[in-house]
Structure 1
Amino acid sequence: MTEQIIALAIAMGASEDQRAILEPLCAAAERTLAAQLRPGLTPQDCTDAFVVCAAWMALDGLHAAGGGSGVTSFTAGDVSIQTGNGGDTSGLTEQIQRLMAPYLTDDGFYFQGVTG
């Protein structure tokens, strides 16, 4: 499945020149998502969502390894320059969680009654 993830990451914008970095990132993303699957589920049970989310995770790692998207803030007098998202990937993380939600274990907070 790692090859599918790599192929999708390249189709989503990574270059073939970045493959040496992309391969371990895709493998790590695959392991990370697989470890969070509900008991009894395999990556093959949710292939489409799994591959997309793992590719997004790998691209996010590739982005971080490349130093982000350049200048994120610069001010000189009245001139201010900002580019990129400043490394904030919370939107991507939320999208991954929404897409994989039906397949992942629920590790959210919950209340439990206490006998008092």
Structure 2
Amino acid sequence: MQEEILTLARTLSGPGEDEETALALLCKAAEKEWTGRLREGVGPEECREAFLCAAALSATAGLLAGRSGMRFTAGNVSVTEPEGGKSAEALRREAERLMGPYVTAAEFRFRGVRG
């Protein structure tokens, strides 16, 4: 799955030659993260399309967050943003939305509960 995630992330992020290694590592980390968050009894193959997209979006978000003066190109459309963080956050939210039915909540904590 890692190669498929990397292919999708390349399409989304348009990495420069100097970003390829970082993107590959981010894809590997995203795959591990999403695999670890899957609900019990759910495997990556059971939610394949959402899993691949979410991992690619997460890796792309990581890459964009590290860029300054981010430029995102998809086909004939280019968007330039002085802060890559805003776009990165939107990608993370989309990944969460896609995987919502298959994962446990991120960073869920009980507060103020006495037990």
Task: Verify same fold: TM over 0.5.
Answer: yes
Identical residues among aligned pairs (%): 34
Q: Which residue in 1 is equivalent to 2:101?
A: 102
Is the partner of 2:70 in helix, strand or coil? coil
**TM-score by structure 2 length?**
0.72
Structure 2 match to 1:79? none
Does residue 51 of structure 1 match 2:52? Answer: yes
Contact 1:68 1:87 in 2 (8 A): no
Deviations 1:51-92 (A, max 9, x none): 11111111111112333528xxxxxxxxxxxx4346234332
In structure 1, the partner of 2:35 is: 34
Larger-Rg structure: 1
Matches within 5 A, 1:1-116: 1-15=1-15, 17=17, 18-67=19-68, 69=70, 83-85=81-83, 87-88=85-86, 89-106=88-105, 108=108
TM-score, normalised by the number of residues in structure 1: 0.71
Q: Distance in 1 between matches of 2:11 and 2:21?
A: 16
For the aligned residue pairs, the C-alpha RMSD in angstroms reads 2.6
Q: Structure 2 counterpart of 1:100, which letter? A: M
* CA distance in structure 2 between the partners assigned to 1:85 and 1:12 by the alignment: 17
Report the more deviating stretch, 15-24 or 36-45: 15-24
| Counterpart Cα distance in 1 of 2:84 and 2:3 | 30
Unaligned runs of 5+ in 1: 71-82
CA contact (8 A) 2:42 2:102 kept: yes
Which one has the bigger strand percentage?
Answer: 2
Unaligned runs of 5+ in 2: 72-80
